[in-house]
Chains A and B, each alone.
Chain A
C-alpha cells in the first residue's frame, strides 16, 4: 500500500493558470458585438420615484437602450428560498406570494442607497457612463430607518407597505420559560449587550455579469462570478423571468474571491438577461470597487442582549439571547438563515448548558441587504457565548479557561443535543484546548508582560473555544427545521474512460478553495488513479448535475461525500468485472491502489484501466452488465458535522495611543479527516485574517442620510500582512460519522474563534471587562482612560 493521497499536501492543480496569468476572470471575457451596461443607483435611502426622464441619456452617442422599473414589471421579484419562520414568515417563497420581494429594478420606490433605478446599455463603457449621469429622476424623499431596534419602534418609517411593523419574522429556539426560571434561581447572573458590527466580505474581484441571447434558438447564456450557478439558473428561469429551464446556461469563470458575498441571486443577472434579449447582443456589467460596498450584500450586524447564569463554582446553568437583526431593505434568497438558524442554534458553543434560549426579531431597514459570509451566523453566536464566559468568569473570580473546561461537552456525551436544535457529531474539546495552551507557553507570560511594560506596551492574551456547524444538508432538516425550499445533498457524476483516466462532473462551485485538487485526491484515494489523470468538470450548468453550490464549508464534506459514494459504485462494478475477467468470485477480489486481484492467487490481477477497457469495448461482458464505467451518485448526510477548536491571541497595546499589535496567534482546530493539509492551512490563515479584520478595524458605517461612509478600500480598512504575525496553527483529528471520508468542513470555520480571542486579549492587556468591536485605537485608549 502506497502513501495515502488523502491527507497529503499535494500542490494545487488550479495554481498553474493563476500563477501564469492565464486564468480567465469575468473582466477578461470579450464576446463579439458585446455592449456595456452601467447602473444608475439610488442616492436616497428611501424615496418615491415620481418620474424618470431618459431623453438626454438616450441621445448620447452609442447608447442602445435604457431600462427602468416600468420595463420589468411583468417579472417576478427575486425569490427568498430560506424561511426559518415557516408559515409565519412574511415573505413566503414562490409560488406563494412575495409581499416584500426585490424587483430587479426599483419600481416606484427606492428603499436603500445603491438600489438599482435604471440600466444603460451602450457600445462603449464611456458612453454608458456619460448617459447614466444624464438620467433625470424626480424623487420624493421619505423618512428612513437604518437599524433593527429603531425599525421595530412604533412610528418608525415603514420600509414595505405590506409589512406595517417592519418585522419580517420572529424565530426562537429552546425553552424560554425554563431558561427564565433557571436564570431566576441562579447564584450568579451576568447580562451584557453584545453588538457584532456590519462588515463587507471585500473580495479582490468585484461582482460581474455577462448575458447573451440567441434570438434564433432562444437560448440564454449567463456568465457570472457566483458561488451558486445552479440556484441562479433555477431561480431566474422558473421564479423570476419565466425562461424555460433548458434555455438558460450559467457559466462561472475563475472567481477572484467571494467569502460568501457572491453566493446570492443578484438583480444584475436578471437585468443583464432582459437587456440581452432586448438588444440581441451580449451585455457586460462589471461592478466598481465602490460597488463592493454599495451593491454587494453586507454581513453580520447582529445586536444581542445576552444573559448568562450559573453557580459560583463555574457551572453555567442558563443562557438567554435576544437578537435584533436586519435583512436590509429586502431579503436575500437565504437572508433570515444566518440570524435565525446559524446564530440561534450556535450560541451554546462548546458547552453543555442545560437551559439555553435564543430569540430574534428580523426586520427590514433602509440599508443594503445583509446575508451570510464566511463564518455566517456562527461567528455572531459564538462571539456572544465566548464573551459571556469571560465576563462570568470575572464575576465569580475564576480563570476563564477553567470555566470553559468545567462546561465543555465531554467526549462521552457525543452525539450531543445542544437544546437549540443541533446534534453535535463528535469532538474532543479538552484536547484542542490543551494543545493550544501548550503552544502558548503561558508560564512565561508574567515575564513577557514585564518586558512589554518596560517598552510602554500592555501585553494580554485571550483564549476561546468554538464549535461550528458545517455541511449543509441534510436536506430534510434544512427544509423541515430551517425552512429551505430546496435540497442540499451532494452530487457527483463520475466516468472512467477507456484509458483508465477519470472524468468527474461536479455541481459544486469553486471560488478559490481548491476543489479541483481536493476532489482529484478523493478519486485518487478511492480508485487508485493518479491525480493528474483525474479531470474535474465544473463551473457550468450545462453538463453538470444541479446542486446548491458552495457555501458554509460544505463542498469537501458533502460533494466530497458524494464523490466517495460514486467511487464506491465504480469500484463495485469494477469488482464484478474483475471477477469475470479473472474467472473468480466477487468476494474473492481484493482492491488495492487501482489493482484488482484474486485473494487466493494475487498473481492473477487486472488494473482498473484494463477493466475499463473491457467494459468500454463490451466484447465480452457478464450477463446483464451494461457497457462502460460511469455512475451518478447523490449523497445526503444524515446530519451536520461540527468542527471545533481553541484559539489563543496575544496582543500588545500601546499605552499612549491605544494601538493594538497582534503579536502571536495560536489556532488548534479540528476539521475531522483533512484531505489536503496545505489547502486547509491556507483556509485557516484566511479565516484568522478575516477574524482579525472583524475584531480590529472592519465596520461599515452609514451617515444620517443612509449613505455608506466608507465605500472604498482607503476608507474601509482590512488587515495587511505587515500587521499580522506568522500564525501558529495545528490540528487535532476527530472524525465525523456524518461523512463517508470522516472529514468536516474547514472553509469558514476557524474564523469563529478569532474575534472573541482578540477582544479577550485586549481586555486582558488593559484590564477592562469588555470593549465592543472594532477595537479602534481611540476606543481602546478611551477604555484605558475610563479605568478607575
Chain B
C-alpha cells in the first residue's frame, strides 16, 4: 500500500531530531523528498512519521574552514551547491555530476543528504565525493561517526554534514547513461595530483545502475607514477569487475571497458579543464 498519511515533524535542533529518531514508529527523513516519494510509490517505505531536516541550521549551507576544508550541510540543495563559488572553483566534478542528476527544478528541491538517505547511489554525486576524499559526519542520540564512505540508510544515524578536503588538483566526472533509464550504466569520478606530468596521487570512484559506489584502488595504484598521458590498461578493471558482485545488467566485460574508457577520458578532461 502506498502511504498517503503520516505525521510530520520539522525539528530546529539536532537534539530534537535525535529524540524524534528514537521514536518507535516507522519514520523517514524528508530531505528534499524526491527519492522518498519514489520509494513510497514503490511501497519500499511506509513511514508513519516524516522528519524534515531543513530547519536545522547546521544542516544547511556550505562553510569553508581556514585549513581549506569545505563543510556541506546535508539539507543543502543541489542548486545551492552547484552555484557556490568555491565549489565551482575547486570541485568541478561536483558541478558535472549535479548537472547530470536532474533538471533545474529537481536540483532546487533535492538536498545532498537526500542522495544518501535513500540509496540513490547509482548517481554520480556519490562517486564524485568519494573521489574527492570526502568525510561523512553522522550522529545519533549517543554517538558521532566520521566515515570515509556513506552509511547505508535505515541505520538510525543521521547524516549531518559532508566535509571535503582540499582537492588533489585535477578532477572530472564522466558517465555513460543507459539510453532507456537515463541512469548511468557506468560513471567514473577521478581526482589526481600531477607533478611534472607524473601522477603522484589518484582517487577513482565508480558508480552505476546495479553497482555499489566504491573506490577503484587498484586502478589508482596502476596510474600513480605514470605519465599523466599514459592510458590505463583495460586488464586492471577486467580483473576488478570479475571479482565484485553487482546487479548491473551490463556484462563484466562491458563494464570494465566502459570504466577504462571513462577513467582515461576523465583524466584527459581534467588535464584540459
Contacts and interface: CB of A to CB of B under 8 A. Distances in A.
A33 interface: no
A129 B2 contact: yes
Contacts of B143: none
Interface string A652-696: 000011011000000000000000000000000000000000001
B146 to A, nearest CB: 33
A657 B1 contact: no
A83 interface: no
B250 A778 contact: yes
B179 interface: yes
Contacts of B180: 697-698, 715-718
Contacts, number: 45
A707 to B, nearest CB: 15
Interface string B178-211: 1111110100000000000000000000000000
Contacts of A778: 185, 250-251, 254
Contacts of A717: 178-182
Interface of A: 126, 129-130, 133, 656-657, 659-660, 696-698, 712, 714-720, 723, 776-778, 781-782
A707 B123 CA distance: 27
Interface in B1-22: 1-2, 4-5
5 contacts: A712-B42, A714-B183, A717-B182, A718-B180, A777-B178
Contacts of B183: 714
Contact of A657 (B2, B5, B42, B261): B261
B179 A657 contact: no
Contact of B1 (A133, A696, A715): A133
Contacts of A656: 261
A781 B179 contact: no
B246 interface: no
Interface residues of B, number: 19
B179 A659 contact: yes
Nearest to A774: B180
A778 B250 CA distance: 7
Nearest to A126: B1
Contacts of A718: 180
Interface string B219-253: 00000000000000000000000000000001100
A660 B176 CA distance: 12
A659 B1 CA distance: 38
A456 to B, nearest CB: 10
Given A697-B180, A720-B182, 15 more contacts: A129-B1, A130-B1, A657-B258, A659-B176, A660-B179, A698-B180, A714-B181, A714-B183, A715-B180, A716-B180, A717-B178, A717-B182, A718-B180, A778-B254, A781-B254
Contacts of B250: 778
Contact of A777 (B1, B42, B179, B181): B179
Interface in B140-174: none
A126 B4 contact: yes
Contacts of A781: 254, 257
A696 B179 contact: yes
Contacts of A714: 181, 183
Q: Of B1, B179, B181, B261, which is in contact with the most chain A CB atoms at under 10 Å from its CB?
A: B179
A686 B258 CA distance: 33
A720 B2 CA distance: 28
A604 B93 CA distance: 82
Nearest to A709: B249
Contacts of A130: 1
B100 to A, nearest CB: 13
A697 B251 CA distance: 17
A623 B229 CA distance: 99
